[in-house]
Structure 1
Amino acid sequence: MARRREHAASQELDVRAAYNAHGPEIYRFALRQLGDGGAAQDVVQEVFLRAWRAMHSYDPQLASLRTWLFAIARNVVVDEARRFAVRPWQRDLTDGSDLDATVGTGGAALDERLVDSWVVEEALRRISDDHRTAIVQTHLRGRSHDEVAAELGIPVGTLRSRVFYGLKALRLAMEEMGVEP
């Protein structure tokens, strides 16, 4: 019984350390996305609650703690934005004094793209080198299949297969990270 309490206490300390290290940054991300300080605080609370509940599923070999927490935060922000869409009158309850200067100036879109790029980068690390190369060259760099296949010295059909199965592996890796499609 005492061992169980020690384990629970050590988990609590880990969540506290994670909150101290990443809480303010997650708050700023949520604030830029939602434009509401109260909602941003709710997001931070929900992120760490979900992280605490899913602590057993976190694997530092798969993603850094920061990436894992921001993947959770992204999902919570989406949920919160949907909640606002259903109840738009809730946004009118704040006076707007808690808005960050970057809200409305593209800062929100920049933050979301940044988090998305972290998540994709982390997921790309989890797939094979052949699949990663095929996806990066064709989808991210926009090169033609013929050009990439010639450069790699493989048939175009092989490259297309690598892209197809690489995208499936990438989708699976992102699901393992807790990112919703």
Structure 2
Amino acid sequence: MNLEKPTETELLRLARQLDSRALAQIYDQYSPELYRYAMRLLGNPSIAEDCVAEAFSRLLRVLAAGKGPRDHLRAYLYRIAHNWITDLYRREPPGEELDESISSDASPPEDATDQNMQRVRIRQAVEKLTPDQRQVIVLKFWQDWENEEIARLLGKPVGAVKSIQHRALSALQKHLQE
């Protein structure tokens, strides 16, 4: 079977058969973005790695049990990570959640201080958002997800995601104007 560019459905079909090449491709394809997502919400590389490892471990367990997703693999993996992070926050409330999550382009040294201060202000403003608002902002603007994908992940209607996004942007604007 040619695994260079299989569809997600084909990849999942092979993964349900525990095909090692399909499982490796799923990991290679989704682990980097899942790690970035976890880092943006957790701010700790070690814990973000644990989150990604747990997401793929849970996926493998459900596939081995003959269950798991038939489609929307990306959303399924993000849902696992979301649930894991939610459980983690229930056990230990977050401290510094976002760590250098806003990347900057190379700039002249004289701009470095201003950019650093702006990043700190944005990070502090994002940390003041509710968990749902924070997650929508991270997925929409830093992970480039569509509203439909976010809705599927959160188990909410698209209209609710748009509403959360609107409230989050309003809150960010308010926090940044303080």
TM-score, normalised on structure 1?
A: 0.48
TM-score, normalised on structure 2?
A: 0.49
Structure with bigger helix share is: 1
